[in-house]
Amino acid sequence: MRHAVKKSMRIVAGLVLLASTSLLSSSLHAQELRGKITGRVMDPNGAAVAGATVKVTDVARSTTTTFTTNADGLFDALYLLPGTYQVVVEASGFKKSLQDKVQVEINQTRHLDISLDVGTPQETVTITAEAAQLNVSDANLGQTIDRKRVDELPSIHGDPYTLMGLSPGVTYTGSSRLDRPFEPTHIAGFAMNGVRGIRSDLLIDGAPSTATANANEVIASYVPPTDITQEFKVQTTTYDAQFGNTEGGVTSIAIKSGTNQLHGTAYYWIEPGGWAANDFFGNSRGQARPFTFSNRPGFSVSGPVIIPKLYNGKNKTFFLFSYEGIRDSRPRFDANNVWVPTAALASGDFSAYVSKVKIYDPLTGTFNATTGAITNRTPFTNNIIPANRIGAVAKAVLPFFGSPKGGPAAGFLVNGNIFDSTLAEKTRRYDNFTIKIDHNFTEKDRFFWRYSWYNRDSSYNNYTGT
């Protein structure tokens, strides 16, 4: 029997246009995963400095947004991509203040208390910001898995969701044998703070990235390669009202965006055939080791959009493109409650099961039209069907059932006699593509578009050998 699985996902996530109107800004905030910098500007005595000019610069893209503090000395810089920022504050009668290396994580509110020294704007006080040690902006509990950890920590088959397990209160409940990016029922099978597994929400770039499989299961509809994952945040308890489509936690992933510098990565992960140990179930049944292998090539490239002699997108338009493929073969056999006829059963010999079942001659018996019962049936001698009573069609079909690979499972007559640990699931084709465009129209109007697609074609449970 040949079982083929093909799955294609086309996800268009993005098309987020930041307009200056409060109505549109409010609607976009409903699933906003970018960060923000808030702050209060004060004089040496702690009094608010109103009318100060605040410039927030994205260091990687050289884009600057300008703000003015209000009567209370407050400012808000919203919709910031995760990364490093520089904050410059100028006010008449005070030295210029430069807050350098301000790190903003996914969905983080970074608060700065900026104290200005008396002097002239020609003088500059530079302060290197330290990482925020405590979240004081909201009641969320969770952990941010930053780019450094995504890069340096091992992830099975390049699946970033495996790093969810680093967060306190998170436990994996899925199958350890189904761990590839195209097995979404299991890769996101984490239980958070006591909630059952596969009941957590998943977001990519602020858009839901979930689907449903079995009853009451929330699964991942798309898994980005680790090479294009900027960072992600696992929220386990008391997350904002903008989240909470399920009773579990929320995992939010931010896909990388291009910068002013051209960047690229390339990799080829390989598991040579024959290096893997035998499957546990194969050892227990004395069956041979299956042939397994795994090949996972991939690359990514990002930078400014530059069309020679036509367009220079530095500081303005950026792109990201990535590809990842998987070709592998690994043990898999999960056909439950199935069996194939033994040689005796195929020839019509049921004598070994006479105490469990009796085979009657279908051409005998009396039918009662009132009750629908058949009586006075004649059993075959010794529970054996004569060879001349087995039809030609049945004889032609029987070879396609295959032969038993072993004895029945414990407690069964024949069930499980085809279990074969040497059978493998073969992924003939898995391709994963992502393209992302970011564009800055003005200081306050920005846009991004992302298209992600994957295709899977595999075969498994081929226990008949057909």
pLDDT value, residue 247: 79
What are the structural domains, with CATH classification, of the chain?
33-128 (2.60.40.1120), 139-255 (2.170.130.10), 256-337+402-466 (no CATH), 343-393 (no CATH)
pLDDT value, residue 127: 85
DSSP state of 137: S
C-alpha closest to that of 433 among 319, 324, 335: 324
Contacts 24+ apart (CB under 8 A), 75-79: 75/38, 75/39, 75/41, 76/36, 76/37, 76/38, 77/36, 77/37, 77/38, 78/25, 78/34, 78/36, 79/18, 79/32, 79/34, 79/36, 79/446
Q: Which residues of the chain have pLDDT under 70?
A: 1-31, 131-140, 184-185, 238-239, 333-336, 465-466
Taking only the tens place, the pLDDT of each residue in 347-371 is: 999 999 988 889 999 999 888 888 8
DSSP state of 129: P
DSSP SS3 for 219: strand
C-alpha closest to that of 450 among 12, 9, 48: 12
Bridge partners, residue 190, by sequence: 172
State the amino acid at position 416 in one-letter form: G
pLDDT value, residue 74: 96
Number of neighbouring beta carbons within 10 Å of residue 115: 17
State the amino acid at position 371 in one-letter form: T
Which is it for strands 83-90 and 53-58: parallel, antiparallel or unpaired? antiparallel
pLDDT value, residue 10: 42
CA–CA distance, 366 with 363 (Å, rounded to integer): 10
pLDDT value, residue 334: 67
Q: What are phi and psi of 296, to 5 degrees?
A: -135, 90
Strand blocks (E) in 22-162: 35-42, 53-58, 63-68, 74-80, 83-90, 96-104, 109-115, 124-128, 141-145
Taking only the tens place, the pLDDT of each residue in 192-242 is: 888 888 888 889 998 888 887 777 788 888 999 999 999 988 988 766 777
Q: What are phi and psi of 55, to 5 degrees?
A: -115, 120
The DSSP line for 305-367 is -EETTTEE-TTTEEEEEEEEEEEEEEE-----S-----HHHHTTB-GGGTTT--PBPTT--EE
pLDDT value, residue 139: 66
pLDDT value, residue 436: 97
C-alpha closest to that of 457 among 424, 427, 423: 427
Q: Which two tokens stand for residue 356?
A: 């469990």
